[in-house]
Amino acid sequence: MRRNRLAVWGAFALLIGALSLVAAGCGGGDDEGSGSASTEIEGLGANLDEIKANAKTEGQVNLVIWPGYAVLTDEFTAATGCKVSTKDGASSDDMISLLQSGAYDGGSFSGNATVRLMANGDVAPIDTEFISNWDDIQEGIKNQDYNSRDGQAYGVPHGRGPNYLMFRTDQVPEGTDSWNVIWDDDQLAKYKGKISIYDDSIFIADAALYLKATQPDLGIDNPYQLTQEQFDAAVELLKKQAPSVGEYWPGDVAKQIQSYTNGDSVVGTTWPYQYVELQKANVPVAIVKPKEGTTGWSDTWMVSSKAEHPNCMYLWMDHMASPEAQAAVAEAFGEAPVNIKACDLTKDKSHCDTYHADDEAWWDDVYYWTTPQADCADDDDSTSCVTQADWQAAWTEIRS
């Protein structure tokens, strides 16, 4: 009996030891995020004709996507010979770990993922010469800090949208145009238990954005790069809000749609997708971009630096920038397309107007998701900001 027990513990200790060795081995091989801006990927053709020819031999492309982002795949396969296989990501963090697994050629990523992917060297810079639709993509979206580094493009823009304020028109006054309905004391008391909030640490930026408008003394400029003092003020605001929140929706759109349908939630923050779905179901809801501005997202197709099928991936990025694919995906999600030629192809001819696709001034006060960084993502060495890890820790405490 005693000997048996010893043997079991011995085996367990051996197993742990072996695993530690494996883990240590992995640790040694860590890449230093390379800063080189070479667009070369092993096996990628030197010009568009070569890429098209190579793609025929590759015959396959594996993508990490936001659910439903890959459209017109059959047409793409017919035109290029590349079969498309997709894997849905649950969150930006999830999509990062999927891409890092090395099983994918690329995917569609939001700004809070792209910044980390570029810094890690997980994605490769792209040669825009190979993207035939590149010139049709709006200039205002190119060369942003979430899709380029030092002026070098790292991907093809996909589409963008704001996080709207959404409310039931039968419960909340029609002309509502301020975020104060989810932040002010008297409003919190009024809508207690009926407020719907996105359950992610990135929502701290929404509090910071409101403080930027209402407490200029704090000096908040970029709601994602906050000093400790600014961050603490945002967290305090969120802690004050928490008892009145009826529901936090963790990227789970079905949950929020159900709550608004039943009237359990009447006001809160949302993506255009839920609004489109609620409209279809004749639920009396309205969305607005409040006067304080809002947070939002601008997504980008990027190619993995270790892509197995880089040629098919380049063709795919070009495909998703085409007017046809842009029209299809923008309308399904209530996004603004980034290729304005798509506006002639949407079923609803007013889609681009509704979603302000070509109204660059409208997007001035939309702050796209990005990753909080210790150096405040600027060139000023004297500033220091609260990191992503601290945002995450604070969010757990806010939720209590």
Partner 1 sequence: MTSVAMSEPPPRQGPGRRLSTFLYRHPRVRLWALLAVPALWLGGVYLGSLAYLLLASFWTADPFTAQLVHEFTLDNFRRIIETPVYRDVAWRTVKMAALVTVACAVLAFPLAYYMARIASTRMRNLLVVAVLMPLWGSYLVKAYAWRTILSGEGVINWALGPFGVEFDGYSNTGLWLVFTYLWLPYMVLPVYAGLERIPSSLLEASSDLGGRSIRTFFSVTLPLVFPAVVAGSIFTFSLTLGDYIAPGLISSDQFIGTVIYREYGTALPVAAAYALVPIAIIVAYLLVARRLKAFESL
Interface contacts to partner 1, rule CB under 8 A: 11-12, 15-16, 19-20, 23-24, 26-27, 30, 33, 91-94, 96-97, 116, 119-120, 193, 199-201, 245-248, 250, 252, 254-255, 258-259, 262-264, 371, 373-374, 387-390, 392-393, 395-397, 399-400
| 3-state class percentages of the chain: helix first, strand second, coil last, to nearest 5 | 45, 15, 35
CB of 385 to partner 1, least distance (A): 11
Backbone angles phi, psi at 271, to 5 degrees: -100, 155
CB of 392 to partner 1, least distance (A): 5
Alpha carbon distance 282, 168 (integer Å): 11
What is the phi-psi region of residue 254: left when phi exceeds 0, alpha when psi lies from -120 to 50, beta otherwise?
alpha
Residue 262: CB atoms within 10 A of its CB come to 9
CB of 383 to partner 1, least distance (A): 15
- Give helix then strand counts, H and E, for the chain: 14, 15
CB of 394 to partner 1, least distance (A): 10
- Give the β-pairing of 294-304 and 366-368: parallel
Closest CB to partner 1 among residues 43, 263: 263
Nearest 5°: the CA angle 96, 98, 99 is: 65
Closest CB to partner 1 among residues 350, 396: 396
Closest CB to partner 1 among residues 193, 284: 193
Closest CB to partner 1 among residues 188, 245: 245
In angstroms, the Cα distances linking 173 to 169, 266, 286 are 7, 11, 11
CB of 156 to partner 1, least distance (A): 23
Using DSSP, state whether 337 is helix, strand or coil. Answer: strand
CB of 193 to partner 1, least distance (A): 7
Closest CB to partner 1 among residues 25, 175: 25
The residues facing 303 across adjacent strands are: 106, 124
Name the token pair of 174: 């029609």
Closest CB to partner 1 among residues 156, 204: 204
Alpha carbon distance 343, 328 (integer Å): 10
Alpha carbon distance 336, 295 (integer Å): 15
Closest CB to partner 1 among residues 118, 307: 118
Name the token pair of 139: 């200039």
Closest CB to partner 1 among residues 311, 371: 371
Closest CB to partner 1 among residues 122, 292: 122
CB of 373 to partner 1, least distance (A): 6
Alpha carbon distance 7, 173 (integer Å): 71
CB of 268 to partner 1, least distance (A): 12
Spatial neighbors of 363 by CB under 8 A, at least 6 apart, are 140, 160, 296, 356
CB of 266 to partner 1, least distance (A): 10
Using DSSP, state whether 285 is helix, strand or coil. Answer: strand
Using DSSP, state whether 366 is helix, strand or coil. Answer: strand
Alpha carbon distance 270, 278 (integer Å): 11
CB of 400 to partner 1, least distance (A): 6
Closest CB to partner 1 among residues 359, 378: 378
Residue 79: CB atoms within 10 A of its CB come to 13
Alpha carbon distance 110, 122 (integer Å): 15
